[in-house]
Amino acid sequence: MPNTREQILDVASRLIHLRGFNNTSIDDILRECGIGKGNFYYYFKSKDELGLAALDRNLEQIKQELVQKSFVPGRGPWDQLWEFLEYPIARTRKNGCAGGCPLGNLVLEMSDIHEGFRQKLHLAFTELRTRIEDCLRQAGLQGTLREDADVSRLARFILAAFEGAFLLGKLHQDPEVLAGIIEELKQHLEHYRTEPALGSAR
């Protein structure tokens, strides 16, 4: 059974994901946890501190569920990218589209109004983009990426489409809308692959 701090973080993470940070009050969290404000302030000095801790928890979960499972050393670069792109499809088909991407939601809500959130989110998306760039550069070294590909620009495009798929899946409440966008993205990326990589297509 989780201790009180973990219980608070569990509830806060879920409510922030569904409602947003600003639409989730401390009272909402305490009501669902069934604890008093004294317990809350023993563990967290403020709502902002709780929000940043919940974000850290989300980042660690995404690292375990997405980054470590997708970007596996020794696996081919295109297989790593394809695994990365399969993640939102599998997630939304299993859990539904409610909530969308917890990181993308916070980027939209908090980047303009809270520098602490913006910095953490910037670092998280920079790490994801760097992982994608590493895959593309590895493909280039293997001769399976077109020589005219702009790696940095293509990596940003992949990440933008990845997040956009989450957003439209959430809007339509339809995992197949998200899946269609990801499949279209894969087809676009095929134009950047050279012939030797075709045999590893998933």
Tens of pLDDT along the chain (202 residues)? 469 999 999 999 999 999 999 999 999 999 999 999 999 999 999 999 999 999 999 999 999 999 999 999 999 999 999 999 999 999 999 888 888 999 999 999 999 999 999 999 999 999 999 999 999 999 999 999 999 999 999 999 999 999 999 999 999 999 999 999 999 999 999 999 997 644 444 4
Q: Which of 190, 189, 85, 196 is nearest to 141 (CA)?
A: 196
pLDDT of residue 98: 86
pLDDT of residue 202: 41
**Locate tokens 């401390």: which residue?**
26
- Structure letter (DSSP) for residue 113: T
Q: What is the CATH number of domain 59-200?
A: 1.10.357.10
Q: Which of 190, 180, 135, 147 is nearest to 199 (CA)?
A: 190
pLDDT of residue 59: 95
Q: Which of 107, 66, 123, 63 is nearest to 89 (CA)?
A: 66
| Domain spans, the chain | 59-200
96-113 residue pLDDT tens: 888 899 999 999 999 999
Phi–psi pair at 23, nearest 5 degrees: -95, 5
pLDDT of residue 199: 47
